[in-house]
Amino acid sequence: EAGVAQSPRYKIIEKRQSVAFWCNPISGHATLYWYQQILGQGPKLLIQFQNNGVVDDSQLPKDRFSAERLKGVDSTLKIQPAKLEDSAVYLCASSLDLAGVNEQFFGPGTRLTVL
C-alpha cells in the first residue's frame, strides 16, 4: 500500500513569511497527526484529527499555526508568520484506529528552515 505522502520535502523562508505543508495519509486511516521535530528532540504533537474533527490541538501555537483536514482525508498545516524557532522537521502520520492501539505510519517529513 502507498505510504503517507508529504510535500514539500524542504522549504526555506524568511522570518515573518508564511508557509504551508501538505499531507496525504494512507487510505482509510481515520486518525491523522502533525508533529514538530526539532533537531535533537523527539516528535511533539501539534494537532490530531479523527476523520475531519480535531481531537487534540493543545500544543498548537494557534496565534500562528493552523491546520485543517478536508473531507477527512488530506491535511494542510500552515504557519503565518514564521519565526526562527519554527525551524524543524514537520512530520505527518496516520493510523487506522480511533483508540491509539494501532501503530502510526509516518511520512518523510518537511524540513523547514526559517532565516
Partner 1 sequence: AQSVAQPEDQVNVAEGNPLTVKCTYSVSGNPYLFWYVQYPNRGLQFLLKYITGDNLVKGSYGFEAEFNKSQTSFHLKKPSALVSDSALYFCAVRDRTSGTYKYIFGTGTRLKVLA
Binding site for partner 1 (CB under 8 A): 4, 33, 40-45, 48, 55-56, 91, 93, 99-101, 103-109
- Our measurement of the distance from residue 11's CA atom to the centroid of its chain's CA atoms, rounded to an integer in Å, reads 14
Least Å distance between CB 83 and partner 1?
23
Do residues 57 and 72 make contact, with C-beta atoms less than 8 angstroms apart?
Answer: no
Least Å distance between CB 115 and partner 1?
20
Name, in order, each residue with C-beta under 8 angstroms of 40's C-beta and a sequence gap of 6 or more.
Answer: none
Least Å distance between CB 107 and partner 1?
5
Closer CB to partner 1, 48 or 75, in the complex: 48
CA torsion, points 65, 16, 109, 96, in degrees to nearest 10?
A: 10
Closer CB to partner 1, 27 or 41, in the complex: 41
